[in-house]
Structure 1
Amino acid sequence: MTAEVCPVVGTTNTVLPPKHPDFDSNQPGLVCPVTKATTDHHHNLHKHPGLFDPSAAAEHPNADSCPALSRIVSRPDQQAMDEAICPVVGAVSSVLPPNHPSTATANDGEVCPVTNATLAHHKNKVHPHPSLETAPKGAVCPVVGASART
Protein backbone atom coordinates (compact mmCIF):
# COMPACT_ATOMS: atom_id res chain seq x y z
CA MET A 1 0.00 0.00 0.00
CA THR A 2 1.42 3.40 -0.99
CA ALA A 3 1.09 6.35 1.37
CA GLU A 4 -0.99 9.28 0.14
CA VAL A 5 1.24 12.26 -0.62
CA CYS A 6 0.18 15.90 -0.30
CA PRO A 7 0.61 17.43 -3.78
CA VAL A 8 1.56 20.83 -2.33
CA VAL A 9 4.23 20.10 0.26
CA GLY A 10 4.95 16.43 -0.47
CA THR A 11 4.26 15.15 3.02
CA THR A 12 2.95 11.69 3.83
CA ASN A 13 2.42 12.67 7.46
CA THR A 14 -1.23 12.51 8.51
CA VAL A 15 -0.75 13.27 12.21
CA LEU A 16 -1.35 16.86 13.30
CA PRO A 17 1.09 18.55 15.71
CA PRO A 18 0.24 18.02 19.41
CA LYS A 19 -0.93 21.61 19.92
CA HIS A 20 -3.02 21.80 16.72
CA PRO A 21 -6.48 23.28 17.44
CA ASP A 22 -9.49 20.98 17.15
CA PHE A 23 -11.53 21.19 13.95
CA ASP A 24 -14.13 19.19 12.06
CA SER A 25 -12.36 17.78 9.00
CA ASN A 26 -15.76 16.96 7.49
CA GLN A 27 -16.75 20.63 7.39
CA PRO A 28 -15.76 21.88 3.92
CA GLY A 29 -13.95 25.16 3.40
CA LEU A 30 -12.16 25.49 6.73
CA VAL A 31 -8.67 26.97 6.26
CA CYS A 32 -5.73 26.32 8.59
CA PRO A 33 -4.35 29.65 9.84
CA VAL A 34 -0.79 28.24 9.84
CA THR A 35 -0.46 26.43 6.50
CA LYS A 36 -3.55 27.59 4.54
CA ALA A 37 -4.49 23.92 4.04
CA THR A 38 -8.22 23.44 3.54
CA THR A 39 -10.46 20.72 4.86
CA ASP A 40 -11.60 20.19 1.26
CA HIS A 41 -8.71 17.79 0.63
CA HIS A 42 -7.41 16.96 4.12
CA HIS A 43 -9.90 14.35 5.33
CA ASN A 44 -7.07 11.94 6.21
CA LEU A 45 -5.62 13.93 9.14
CA HIS A 46 -5.56 12.59 12.69
CA LYS A 47 -5.05 14.11 16.13
CA HIS A 48 -1.67 13.57 17.71
CA PRO A 49 -1.83 10.57 20.06
CA GLY A 50 -1.88 11.19 23.78
CA LEU A 51 -2.09 14.44 25.67
CA PHE A 52 0.51 17.10 25.09
CA ASP A 53 2.58 17.44 28.23
CA PRO A 54 3.81 21.06 28.55
CA SER A 55 6.71 19.88 30.74
CA ALA A 56 8.01 17.86 27.75
CA ALA A 57 8.04 20.92 25.50
CA ALA A 58 11.73 21.53 26.14
CA GLU A 59 12.53 17.97 25.09
CA HIS A 60 10.15 17.87 22.08
CA PRO A 61 9.39 21.48 21.10
CA ASN A 62 8.29 20.68 17.53
CA ALA A 63 8.18 18.04 14.83
CA ASP A 64 11.98 18.13 14.41
CA SER A 65 12.32 16.16 17.62
CA CYS A 66 9.22 13.97 17.43
CA PRO A 67 10.41 10.35 17.79
CA ALA A 68 7.61 9.04 15.56
CA LEU A 69 8.50 11.37 12.69
CA SER A 70 12.21 10.57 12.99
CA ARG A 71 11.34 6.91 12.40
CA ILE A 72 9.11 7.79 9.43
CA VAL A 73 11.84 9.73 7.65
CA SER A 74 14.35 6.92 8.16
CA ARG A 75 12.20 4.54 6.08
CA PRO A 76 13.70 3.85 2.62
CA ASP A 77 10.45 4.75 0.79
CA GLN A 78 10.45 8.18 2.45
CA GLN A 79 14.15 8.76 1.80
CA ALA A 80 13.53 7.98 -1.87
CA MET A 81 11.10 10.91 -1.93
CA ASP A 82 13.75 13.24 -0.44
CA GLU A 83 11.80 13.86 2.73
CA ALA A 84 13.05 15.94 5.62
CA ILE A 85 11.28 17.10 8.78
CA CYS A 86 9.48 20.45 8.85
CA PRO A 87 8.84 21.71 12.40
CA VAL A 88 5.24 22.54 11.44
CA VAL A 89 3.93 19.75 9.19
CA GLY A 90 6.43 16.99 9.92
CA ALA A 91 7.83 14.77 7.18
CA VAL A 92 7.87 16.77 3.96
CA SER A 93 9.70 16.99 0.65
CA SER A 94 12.39 19.62 0.23
CA VAL A 95 11.58 19.76 -3.49
CA LEU A 96 8.97 22.36 -4.46
CA PRO A 97 6.07 21.35 -6.73
CA PRO A 98 6.66 21.90 -10.50
CA ASN A 99 4.35 24.93 -10.68
CA HIS A 100 5.74 26.67 -7.56
CA PRO A 101 6.91 30.26 -8.21
CA SER A 102 10.66 30.78 -8.13
CA THR A 103 12.12 31.71 -4.76
CA ALA A 104 15.40 32.99 -6.27
CA THR A 105 14.46 36.66 -6.10
CA ALA A 106 12.26 36.53 -2.98
CA ASN A 107 13.21 38.48 0.14
CA ASP A 108 13.65 36.80 3.54
CA GLY A 109 10.42 38.28 4.96
CA GLU A 110 8.21 37.19 2.06
CA VAL A 111 5.50 34.61 2.68
CA CYS A 112 4.49 31.82 0.29
CA PRO A 113 0.99 32.54 -1.02
CA VAL A 114 0.19 28.82 -1.03
CA THR A 115 1.38 27.57 2.36
CA ASN A 116 2.12 30.68 4.48
CA ALA A 117 5.73 29.48 4.86
CA THR A 118 8.31 32.25 5.21
CA LEU A 119 11.34 32.30 2.96
CA ALA A 120 13.64 33.08 5.90
CA HIS A 121 12.60 29.80 7.54
CA HIS A 122 13.04 27.79 4.31
CA LYS A 123 16.12 29.45 2.77
CA ASN A 124 18.56 26.83 1.44
CA LYS A 125 16.18 24.07 2.65
CA VAL A 126 13.82 23.85 -0.34
CA HIS A 127 14.80 23.33 -3.94
CA PRO A 128 13.12 23.99 -7.29
CA HIS A 129 11.50 21.01 -8.97
CA PRO A 130 13.56 19.55 -11.83
CA SER A 131 12.27 20.37 -15.30
CA LEU A 132 9.53 18.02 -16.42
CA GLU A 133 10.46 18.61 -20.07
CA THR A 134 13.91 17.09 -19.60
CA ALA A 135 12.87 14.26 -17.28
CA PRO A 136 13.88 10.87 -18.68
CA LYS A 137 11.26 8.26 -19.42
CA GLY A 138 10.25 6.50 -16.20
CA ALA A 139 11.76 9.18 -13.93
CA VAL A 140 10.16 9.27 -10.48
CA CYS A 141 8.97 12.57 -9.00
CA PRO A 142 10.78 13.32 -5.72
CA VAL A 143 7.68 15.05 -4.33
CA VAL A 144 4.88 12.56 -4.96
CA GLY A 145 6.80 9.45 -6.04
CA ALA A 146 4.92 9.22 -9.36
CA SER A 147 6.51 8.60 -12.74
CA ALA A 148 7.13 11.77 -14.74
CA ARG A 149 6.52 10.09 -18.08
CA THR A 150 5.70 6.56 -19.08
Structure 2
Amino acid sequence: MASACPVVGTTNDVLPPNHPEVDLAKDGQTCPVVGATTDHHHNLHKHPSVSIENASSPTATECPVLKKVVTQPKSQAMDDEVCPVIGPATTVLPPDHPDTSAAKEGEVCPVTKATVAHHKNKVHSHPSVQSTEKGAVCPVAGVKF
Protein backbone atom coordinates (compact mmCIF):
# COMPACT_ATOMS: atom_id res chain seq x y z
CA MET A 1 0.00 0.00 0.00
CA ALA A 2 1.05 3.58 -0.69
CA SER A 3 1.21 6.45 1.77
CA ALA A 4 -2.01 8.34 2.50
CA CYS A 5 -3.31 10.78 -0.10
CA PRO A 6 -3.27 14.29 1.42
CA VAL A 7 -6.70 15.09 -0.03
CA VAL A 8 -8.91 12.02 0.48
CA GLY A 9 -6.75 9.92 2.80
CA THR A 10 -6.73 6.79 0.68
CA THR A 11 -3.77 4.44 0.98
CA ASN A 12 -4.94 2.49 -2.06
CA ASP A 13 -2.67 2.80 -5.09
CA VAL A 14 -4.67 0.59 -7.48
CA LEU A 15 -7.39 2.05 -9.72
CA PRO A 16 -10.70 0.13 -9.77
CA PRO A 17 -11.18 -2.37 -12.62
CA ASN A 18 -13.84 -0.18 -14.26
CA HIS A 19 -11.69 3.00 -14.20
CA PRO A 20 -11.53 4.82 -17.57
CA GLU A 21 -8.25 4.54 -19.47
CA VAL A 22 -5.70 7.16 -18.46
CA ASP A 23 -1.97 7.45 -19.16
CA LEU A 24 -0.64 7.80 -15.62
CA ALA A 25 2.83 8.71 -16.86
CA LYS A 26 1.53 11.82 -18.66
CA ASP A 27 1.14 15.00 -16.56
CA GLY A 28 -1.80 17.37 -16.94
CA GLN A 29 -4.61 14.87 -17.41
CA THR A 30 -7.69 15.05 -15.20
CA CYS A 31 -9.56 12.02 -13.96
CA PRO A 32 -13.19 12.15 -15.16
CA VAL A 33 -14.33 10.34 -12.01
CA VAL A 34 -12.82 12.31 -9.11
CA GLY A 35 -11.11 15.26 -10.78
CA ALA A 36 -7.59 14.29 -9.63
CA THR A 37 -4.73 15.18 -11.97
CA THR A 38 -2.06 12.77 -13.13
CA ASP A 39 0.59 15.26 -11.96
CA HIS A 40 0.33 13.92 -8.41
CA HIS A 41 -0.64 10.33 -9.13
CA HIS A 42 2.32 8.59 -10.74
CA ASN A 43 2.15 6.03 -7.92
CA LEU A 44 -1.15 4.56 -9.19
CA HIS A 45 -1.50 1.27 -11.03
CA LYS A 46 -4.20 -0.30 -13.17
CA HIS A 47 -6.15 -3.11 -11.54
CA PRO A 48 -5.46 -6.50 -13.15
CA SER A 49 -8.23 -7.80 -15.37
CA VAL A 50 -10.72 -9.78 -13.29
CA SER A 51 -14.04 -11.49 -13.77
CA ILE A 52 -16.54 -9.72 -11.57
CA GLU A 53 -19.91 -11.32 -10.82
CA ASN A 54 -21.74 -7.99 -10.89
CA ALA A 55 -20.01 -6.70 -14.05
CA SER A 56 -22.58 -3.93 -14.51
CA SER A 57 -21.21 -2.20 -11.40
CA PRO A 58 -17.65 -3.31 -10.53
CA THR A 59 -16.82 -1.12 -7.56
CA ALA A 60 -14.12 -1.15 -4.90
CA THR A 61 -16.64 -2.28 -2.28
CA GLU A 62 -16.92 -5.60 -4.13
CA CYS A 63 -13.17 -6.31 -3.94
CA PRO A 64 -12.38 -9.01 -1.35
CA VAL A 65 -8.82 -7.69 -0.88
CA LEU A 66 -9.92 -4.14 -0.03
CA LYS A 67 -12.50 -5.39 2.45
CA LYS A 68 -9.65 -7.07 4.34
CA VAL A 69 -7.39 -4.01 4.11
CA VAL A 70 -9.73 -1.85 6.20
CA THR A 71 -9.47 -4.31 9.09
CA GLN A 72 -5.70 -3.86 9.36
CA PRO A 73 -4.44 -1.80 12.35
CA LYS A 74 -3.18 1.13 10.22
CA SER A 75 -6.52 1.37 8.41
CA GLN A 76 -8.46 1.18 11.64
CA ALA A 77 -6.29 3.90 13.19
CA MET A 78 -7.11 6.13 10.21
CA ASP A 79 -10.81 5.22 10.50
CA ASP A 80 -10.84 3.78 6.97
CA GLU A 81 -13.88 2.51 5.11
CA VAL A 82 -14.10 1.20 1.54
CA CYS A 83 -15.30 3.87 -0.87
CA PRO A 84 -16.81 2.33 -4.03
CA VAL A 85 -14.70 4.69 -6.18
CA ILE A 86 -11.27 5.07 -4.53
CA GLY A 87 -11.13 2.04 -2.25
CA PRO A 88 -9.90 2.33 1.35
CA ALA A 89 -10.00 5.95 2.50
CA THR A 90 -10.21 7.73 5.79
CA THR A 91 -13.65 8.98 6.77
CA VAL A 92 -12.03 12.08 8.28
CA LEU A 93 -11.90 15.14 6.04
CA PRO A 94 -8.55 16.99 5.72
CA PRO A 95 -8.00 19.86 8.21
CA ASP A 96 -8.41 22.53 5.52
CA HIS A 97 -11.62 21.07 4.06
CA PRO A 98 -14.54 23.52 3.97
CA ASP A 99 -17.30 22.93 6.52
CA THR A 100 -19.88 20.49 5.13
CA SER A 101 -22.52 20.87 7.84
CA ALA A 102 -24.50 23.43 5.80
CA ALA A 103 -24.05 21.66 2.44
CA LYS A 104 -27.24 20.90 0.55
CA GLU A 105 -28.09 17.40 -0.75
CA GLY A 106 -27.11 17.99 -4.41
CA GLU A 107 -23.91 19.95 -3.80
CA VAL A 108 -20.60 18.64 -5.14
CA CYS A 109 -17.15 18.90 -3.55
CA PRO A 110 -15.02 21.24 -5.71
CA VAL A 111 -11.93 19.10 -5.05
CA THR A 112 -13.07 15.51 -5.62
CA LYS A 113 -16.49 15.83 -7.30
CA ALA A 114 -17.94 13.78 -4.43
CA THR A 115 -21.58 14.53 -3.70
CA VAL A 116 -23.02 15.32 -0.31
CA ALA A 117 -25.70 12.68 -0.85
CA HIS A 118 -23.10 9.88 -1.04
CA HIS A 119 -21.11 11.10 1.93
CA LYS A 120 -23.70 12.41 4.40
CA ASN A 121 -23.04 10.94 7.86
CA LYS A 122 -20.06 8.97 6.44
CA VAL A 123 -17.32 11.61 6.69
CA HIS A 124 -16.24 13.57 9.76
CA SER A 125 -14.43 16.80 10.47
CA HIS A 126 -10.71 16.62 11.20
CA PRO A 127 -9.55 17.48 14.74
CA SER A 128 -8.23 21.04 15.00
CA VAL A 129 -4.57 21.41 14.03
CA GLN A 130 -4.28 25.20 14.34
CA SER A 131 -1.83 25.12 17.24
CA THR A 132 0.14 22.17 15.86
CA GLU A 133 3.91 22.56 15.74
CA LYS A 134 5.89 21.78 12.59
CA GLY A 135 6.96 18.13 12.64
CA ALA A 136 3.97 16.97 14.68
CA VAL A 137 2.19 13.83 13.51
CA CYS A 138 -1.37 13.97 12.17
CA PRO A 139 -3.74 12.12 14.53
CA VAL A 140 -5.64 10.70 11.55
CA ALA A 141 -3.21 9.90 8.74
CA GLY A 142 -0.07 9.49 10.84
CA VAL A 143 1.94 11.82 8.56
CA LYS A 144 4.12 14.74 9.69
CA PHE A 145 2.90 18.32 9.34
TM-score for the superposition, normalised by structure 2: 0.89
- CA shift, 1:138, in A, is 5.6
Aligned to 1:141: 139
Matches within 5 A, 1:1-150: 3-51=2-50, 53=51, 56-57=53-54, 61-133=58-130, 140-142=138-140, 144-147=141-144
Change over 3 Å in CA distance of 1:91–1:111 after alignment to 2: same
1:34–1:116 Cα contact (<8 Å) kept: yes
TM-align CA RMSD:
2.3
Residues 17 and 58, structure 2, Cα contact 8 Å, conserved in 1? no
The separation in 2 between residues aligned to 1:139 and 1:19, in whole angstroms, is: 35
Q: Is contact 2:106-2:117 (8 Å) kept?
A: yes
Paired positions, count: 144
Deviation, structure 1 residue 147:
4.6
- AA matched with 1:87: P
Q: Indicate if the aligned counterparts of 1:141 and 1:147 stay in contact, CA closer than 8 A.
A: no
For residues 106 and 75 of structure 1, the distance between their equivalents in structure 2, rounded to whole angstroms, comes to 32
TM-superposed deviation, 1:20: 0.8
Deviation string 1:63-118 (CA, Å, 9 cap, x unpaired) is 11210101111111111111111011000010000110000111010000000000
TM-score by length of structure 1 reads: 0.86
- What is the identity, as a one-letter code, of the residue corresponding to 1:42? H
Structure 1 unmatched runs, 5+: none
